[in-house]
A = this chain, B = another copy of it.
């Protein structure tokens, strides 16, 4: 006798890498009865259905949300406020909404505005998974295996609601972490958003010079590593920078103070201070590299 799947209906908004892989992972775990997808174009939804990422395409949220167990909003963050507003009137008493956005403060604010006193039914989350490819064809059921998913609970979330979302991600094979939305945004500003901004800034500073070619001629492997992320998508990083503006400004200001300190040491020819800063950085970088490799993450 087959046991009942843990989840009945799952609705995903965005059937690409993030949403599609979530759907496929739950299907492969026999943990869901039905997956309904919403997307921006009929062609994407048709592809998602043909690839068995979703069971069927949704037409009208009014008919799909009320009896859904989990609604995952896995679109670009900028589209979330409108989607939240579209689904808010139809939330059933047991419907849980979660998201896959890479910033949390702005998503939580949009969710509060849309869901009002039903905000307890919304559990913000951020699955940390690569994004080299996109669309339903990029989705696969193993994407989240051994990857980190950060859940950022709200004070209004009950333990039961929170556990359901964590359980769904655990069924996808992910390692679950909890941070406050504010701490999440600070951490990712520091370790991801700021490095992107710093790398873009260096290349831009060279590129706008009259003799830019001369500089690029002698750039070598250190420059290559440092600036690899400066080849990232400008629109995407504009949106992330704006979405996480407050935390990113905080981290940028902390970094600028660090540069001021190094400038002072350099101007004073204070070799021992330079060596101290470089030495602390080197030890931390090597320790991180060792531990990140051991746990198989961050590679």
Contacts and interface: CB of A to CB of B under 8 A. Distances in A.
A269 interface: yes
State the oligomeric state as a number of copies.
2
Nearest to A224: B298
A209 B148 CA distance: 22
B231 A280 contact: no
Interface residues of A, number: 90
Given A128-B218, A199-B226, A204 B281 contact: yes
Given A225-B228, A252-B266, A278-B237, A198 B190 contact: no
A275 interface: yes
A266 B179 CA distance: 25
B248 A266 contact: yes
A238 interface: yes
Contacts of A233: 282
A219 to B, nearest CB: 4
What 10 A-B pairs are tightest by C-beta distance, nearest first? A207-B284, A234-B278, A203-B281, A234-B279, A191-B219, A195-B226, A200-B281, A204-B281, A238-B275, A225-B228
